[in-house]
Amino acid sequence: MALLPLLWFLLASLISCTNSRQLKKEETIYEVLKAHGLPMGLLPKGVREFDIDENGRFQAYLDQACNAKFESELHYDRNVSGTLSYGQIGGLSGISAQELFLWFPVKGIRVDVPSSGLIYFDVGVVFKQFSLSLFETPPDCVAVRTEEEQSNSNAPVAETVFKVEALTLPFAYPNWLRVKYESTGSDRLCRPERYPLTSF
């Protein structure tokens, strides 16, 4: 008979554990970031789905690759993954930060002592320091096309249309070519050896 109350207790514990797991599955990635001492704005708006395991390893799936502007620009791939622990993300992939004209993959993010108001992005060669307040809310993100999407597109990347006419200009310009660019309406004279006809 003493076994019956113990079974009821175990059953009740199992049900409450199941309910708490369901609540965690209903959380958004932004709430998970906040629960780990990170600002919600580390990921942009548009995360349609995410997975996280018991070790903190997560995958976030965005609607599309996009760029967001902070003090500098950040690029988010369609899939962002990393390992969450309190106040930091390690093993990060899918985020790049722009510095001048170069893009650097962000390998990790960590919040300094919360009272300092600073957050650091590990871009391999250096840690970029930002104000924590920049990441309080998920940013709007401008969609960008990946190289694969651009190569699969039928739209021309660049179009230069021109016409080449052979000219006979006595004396000063024997056998020169006149290159006429129809897109701009301009033309110029060129030596054939500089622009061989096979390249047109």
If you search the block for the tokens 């000219």, which residue do you land on?
167
Q: Give residue 145's pLDDT.
A: 77
Pick from 37, 117, 29, 131: which is nearest to 76 by CA? Answer: 29
Q: Give residue 150's pLDDT.
A: 59
3-state secondary structure of 11: helix
Exposed/middle/buried for residue 39 (C-beta within 10 Å: 0-12, 13-18, 19+):
buried
Q: Strand 142-143 vs strand 66-69: parallel, antiparallel, or unpaired?
A: antiparallel
CA quadruple 137, 140, 146, 150: dihedral, nearest 10: 180
Per-residue pLDDT of the chain (200 residues; tens, 9 = 90+): 555 554 444 445 544 443 333 335 568 999 999 999 999 999 999 899 999 999 999 999 999 999 999 888 999 999 999 999 999 999 999 999 998 888 999 999 999 877 789 999 999 888 999 999 999 999 999 999 766 665 665 554 443 434 555 555 455 555 556 666 555 556 565 555 544 444 33
Per domain, the residue ranges of the chain are: 15-152, 162-199
Q: Give residue 176's pLDDT.
A: 59
Domain covering 15-152, topology:
at5g01610, DUF538 DOMAIN (2.30.240)
Q: Are 53 and 122 in contact (CB under 8 A)?
A: no
| Alpha carbons 48 and 46: distance in angstroms, whole number | 6
